Chain A
Amino acid sequence: MLFRRIFKEKLLYLIIFANLIIGYATFIVISQFISGQFMWDNHNTNYDRIYRLQLFMDQKENKIKHTWSVTAALSRKDLIDLPEIEKIALIHDVGDNNKNGVFLSVDKKNQILSRFGYYADQSVFDIFTFKFIEGDIKQALTEPYSIVLSKELADKLFPGGNAIGKQVYGENKVVFNVTGVFEDLPLRTTWRPVYLLPMLSYAAITGQKDYENNYWGYSFHTYVLLKPNANPAAIDNKIHDALKDFRKEHYPYLRPMSKLNVNPFFDPSMYIAIGLLSFLSVLILVLSSINFINLQTASATNRYREIGILKTLGFNKRRLWFQFMFESMSITIAASLTGILVAQMALPSLNSMIGWGTFPGILENPKLIFIILAVTLITGFLSGIHPAYIISSYSPVAALKQKLIPEKSNGINLKKILVTIQFSISVFMLIVAFIIFRQTNFMLTKDMGFNNQTVLFSNIVTNKNGSFEPLKQQLLEHREIKDACVSDYIPFILPGGDDLNWEGGKPDEKVFVRYSNISYDFVPTYELKMISGRNFSKEFPADRNNCLINETAAKVFGWKDPIGKRIKASGKNYDVIGVIKDYTVFSVSNPNEPHLYKLLQDSIVSNAVYSINFVPGKEKEAMNIVKEEFQKFFPDDAFEFSDIKFLTQNESAVKAYQSFQKITSLIAILTIIISSIGIFGLILFMTQRKMKEIGVRKVLGFSYSSLYITLSSWFIQLIFISLLLAWPAAFYVYKVLPGANKYGIQIWEFLIASLIILAVAFATISYQIVKALKVRPVEILKDE
């Protein structure tokens, strides 16, 4: 019978189903997105027992900071004897994964730039879950100069397969033997190596002979596997003061793997963002449920006669109530199942649109299916109650005569409340979507303080030495190249650093300062701004003993006039000659840190980054020029130039922002669609109900415009009440939005969001009223 009715009232049920399916699909997609955030790393069998060693740095004036870059000595000296710990893995980047990666090749010719290589102890295979395709997992990293490849990299290096026992060259300088190939780790993995080298070769390859005793170098990572039932708090207590002889205010602790994605550093931002997203997804569900209630109640008027007949024939109220509830539930369950299907079909394109490996399939998280089913039953039940009550309460006599139940025209009734809620939610969600979109956009397009648009850069490891000057002159011959420099880091990337004393500070007071070595042209190439003093210059040979600092460093040291002040770094004194305006380092959401720049002069060093500033729009030409010139200059070394624009946009925080931005845009669009459906349905049935009134008024000679006003006035009142509710609520969301840098909210965002909903309402009202007005009054009146 339900099917026949659906078939008969196609438009009505099309609206009902579209509304519910979009509502459920959105809820499901967002639930999957959120559940994905909590499913990072859970492919590890030992998930619950894996912890990462982190440091808490109590820094002066510099916000409280946490890091997972730690010293090797902590794991080799302090963790090693703790009874609670089963396994420890010490890890170090190969090269610098943030910069560029390392060139690997099989034949010294076809170089493959490979990022995310790590030196690691054999114990990583005991701690994390790796699936070996080739080789023996038990001794893959036990021999010096072995290399373990991910399938992804193995396929590139050895397209024919059979990598085991073959040789791989690193930067054409070191030879490794392939001892294993493992299946690519899932995208939702915090530590996701693409290849692994044995830690026991680290000293020999890097020359860091005494690294295991080094408490100063913060470039290692450490993961531990606790024994079952071990208490991590007990370990935290034991290692809390491990660094007290070295860096007074740095305290090591363990962070469980379950927190590494959502909240690695005790910062609630991610939770707030996820909370907000969950809230929006629930609201969308509420919105579509209210639509459903309104549509059902409205369509119930079409069933007066049927209900009247059934009652006359002896069907009691409870029975009819159950029948109607059953219909409601069937519709919601069907819509929810279709919603799951739609969501799954949308996932591949959503994954590629939003990226970042964010959406787990529904089958990966069975709990989610239960949640969705529970939510379906609850929404189906709640949205069925009211219409079922209305419909089962019809008096059979009135129903048979097809008299409409008189509606309380003044005063507050449930329908008005629902419509108000519906409008409020729509407007609220649109404003919030605007806010989130603008906020993320603000973070993404914010002036980073350096040229992040027209710079090409490449890391080059070489045996060559001498001056960079001839190459630079050669490059500047081309009109497309504006400037070039050499440095050990580029502005976007965080270099290492050290705790420093400064002139005027207490002798025992130290602050962690990052430092880079830069050539004379680093400042102009990256278009950094000097706020006082001068850049390094060849006219001042003494600049070898001078340095530049950034704005934050001057602030942290408490220097009003930094020029001429003295800093001791790496056992040497440097005089400050200039202050560089702060620029954004690594992530747009990061606070600024003190920074020191030393002069590299123009000499080629074994491992450095070469940067070229090109004329805007000449990207391709510039790329060809640098390829050619660098090939001539470094004939024996591999390099690959990257566009800085690409780098900054692929940084994970930026990607996270982008995915949030995209998902909120999606929510905004769906909100508009669902609201339109709701408003359309509502008005459709409201005007149907008022058909007779329209007919009578037309007969009496009312003008179209006065009919229009009569029919839409109650609606408009409710819209304005909704605005009063939605605006403050949306403003509150802006207030609690996380982030160090907030954009300035503007009134037009509220206005535009409200106008969109108003426009939708007016468009549908107009359509329906015009349609109703076109019907000849005689036909309407005859219908009674």
Chain B
Amino acid sequence: MVETTALNNVNLEVGKGEFVAVMGPSGCGKSTLLNILGLLDSSDSGEYYFDGIEISGFNEKQRTNLRKGNIGFIFQGFNLIDDLNIYENVELPLLALGEPKSQRRQKVDEILEKMRIGHRRSHFPKQLSGGQQQRVAIARALITRPKVILADEPTGNLDSANGEQVMQLLEELNTTGTTIIMVTHSIGHAERAHRILNLFDGQLLLERSDKVFEPVL
């Protein structure tokens, strides 16, 4: 097998409360970057400081522990579990954290209302529209009040109206202090971030920023 290098020499610092958009053509390493930032994957070399802690040497268990509660994921394909209803899907991260049932119920109810999908709580993902599904996915990502949200083309599978709704939600979140790193193909959506990163063949090409933040990543 031929070894391919997905990311090379990327040096990136993301500040607390920052909204970063990552752009670039297919195969440029956007997803790999997101996977490493999201602790789903580890880099072969280099250092990674999360909230001031060096974690590149962490094993899978340690990474899992750090991930839960701290990082929320939003995917292009929503990645909801078809066999679970909306309520149960959103509840999952709290289950992973081992929170007691009454707290889980309260938190899930709250976030479902906030996302305006409370009335569909006992439906299954396949019964919902794409926009609704993405709102469920966002609710699931937010339920633990994570420090960072990683969004991998959150609007990619949605029509423009639904996509706009999702962008508004993300912006709202960001204004309440959540750090957001979003991969997107849409220049329009990217421009709503504080900073745009352009990746090409694993290299960071261009950064455009209009605000300075205290680094969290």
Given contacts A1-B83, A1-B84, A319-B96, contact A313 B61 (CB under 8 A): no
Complex CA distance for A8 and B92, rounded to whole angstroms: 21
| A314 lies within 8 A of chain B by Cβ | yes
**CB–CB B96/A5 < 8 A:** no
Given contacts A1-B84, A308-B79, contact A314 B93 (CB under 8 A): yes
| A310 lies within 8 A of chain B by Cβ | yes
| A305 lies within 8 A of chain B by Cβ | yes
Q: Which residues of B contact A397 (CB under 8 A)?
A: 35, 40-41
| Shortest distance from the beta carbon of A398 to any chain B beta carbon, whole Å | 10
Task: Look across to chain B and name the residue whose beta carbon is closest to the beta carbon of A316.
Answer: B64
**CB–CB B67/A317 < 8 A:** no
Given contacts A310-B92, A313-B92, contact A400 B79 (CB under 8 A): yes
| Shortest distance from the beta carbon of A310 to any chain B beta carbon, whole Å | 7
| Shortest distance from the beta carbon of B140 to any chain A beta carbon, whole Å | 7
Complex CA distance for A8 and B126, rounded to whole angstroms: 13
Complex CA distance for A8 and B83, rounded to whole angstroms: 8
Complex CA distance for A17 and B96, rounded to whole angstroms: 30
| Shortest distance from the beta carbon of B40 to any chain A beta carbon, whole Å | 5
Which residues of chain A in 277-320 are interfacial with respect to chain B, using CB atoms and an 8 Å cutoff? 305-306, 308-317, 319
**CB–CB A314/B83 < 8 A:** no
Complex CA distance for A663 and B93, rounded to whole angstroms: 53
Given contacts A306-B81, A396-B40, A397-B35, contact A313 B93 (CB under 8 A): yes
Complex CA distance for A761 and B75, rounded to whole angstroms: 42
Complex CA distance for A1 and B95, rounded to whole angstroms: 14
Complex CA distance for A8 and B82, rounded to whole angstroms: 10
> Which one of B60, B69, B73, B83 contacts A306 once the chains associate, using CB atoms below 8 Å?
B83
Q: Which residues of A contact B8 (CB under 8 A)?
A: none
| Size bin of chain B's contact surface | 20 to 34
| A408 lies within 8 A of chain B by Cβ | no
| B68 lies within 8 A of chain A by Cβ | yes
Complex CA distance for A139 and B87, rounded to whole angstroms: 77
Complex CA distance for A224 and B52, rounded to whole angstroms: 88
**Interface 1/0 per residue, A1-45 and B, CB below 8 Å:** 100110010000000000000000000000000000000000000
| B212 lies within 8 A of chain A by Cβ | no
**Interface 1/0 per residue, B45-82 and A, CB below 8 Å:** 00000000000000011001101110001010001111
| B38 lies within 8 A of chain A by Cβ | yes
| Shortest distance from the beta carbon of A51 to any chain B beta carbon, whole Å | 63
| B205 lies within 8 A of chain A by Cβ | no
Q: Which residues of B contact A315 (CB under 8 A)?
A: 64, 68, 92, 95-96
| B12 lies within 8 A of chain A by Cβ | no
**Interface 1/0 per residue, A378-400 and B, CB below 8 Å:** 00000000000000000011001
**CB–CB B38/A316 < 8 A:** no
| Shortest distance from the beta carbon of A409 to any chain B beta carbon, whole Å | 14
Which residues of chain B in 10-63 are interfacial with respect to chain A, using CB atoms and an 8 Å cutoff? 35, 38, 40-41, 60-61
**CB–CB B40/A312 < 8 A:** yes
Q: Which residues of A contact B95 (CB under 8 A)?
A: 315
| Shortest distance from the beta carbon of B39 to any chain A beta carbon, whole Å | 9
> Which one of B65, B73, B97 contacts A312 once the chains associate, using CB atoms below 8 Å?
B73
Given contacts A5-B83, A8-B83, A305-B79, contact A317 B60 (CB under 8 A): yes
**CB–CB A314/B40 < 8 A:** no
Which residues of chain A in 312-351 are interfacial with respect to chain B, using CB atoms and an 8 Å cutoff? 312-317, 319
Given contacts A1-B84, A396-B40, A397-B35, contact A314 B97 (CB under 8 A): yes
Complex CA distance for A72 and B63, rounded to whole angstroms: 86
Task: Look across to chain B and name the residue whose beta carbon is closest to the beta carbon of A401.
Answer: B31
On A, residues with C-beta under 8 Å from B are 1, 4-5, 8, 305-306, 308-317, 319, 396-397, 400
What are some 6 contacts across the A-B interface (CB < 8 A)? A1-B84, A8-B82, A310-B81, A312-B40, A312-B67, A317-B64
On B, residues with C-beta under 8 Å from A are 35, 38, 40-41, 60-61, 64-65, 67-69, 73, 75, 79-84, 88, 92-93, 95-97, 140
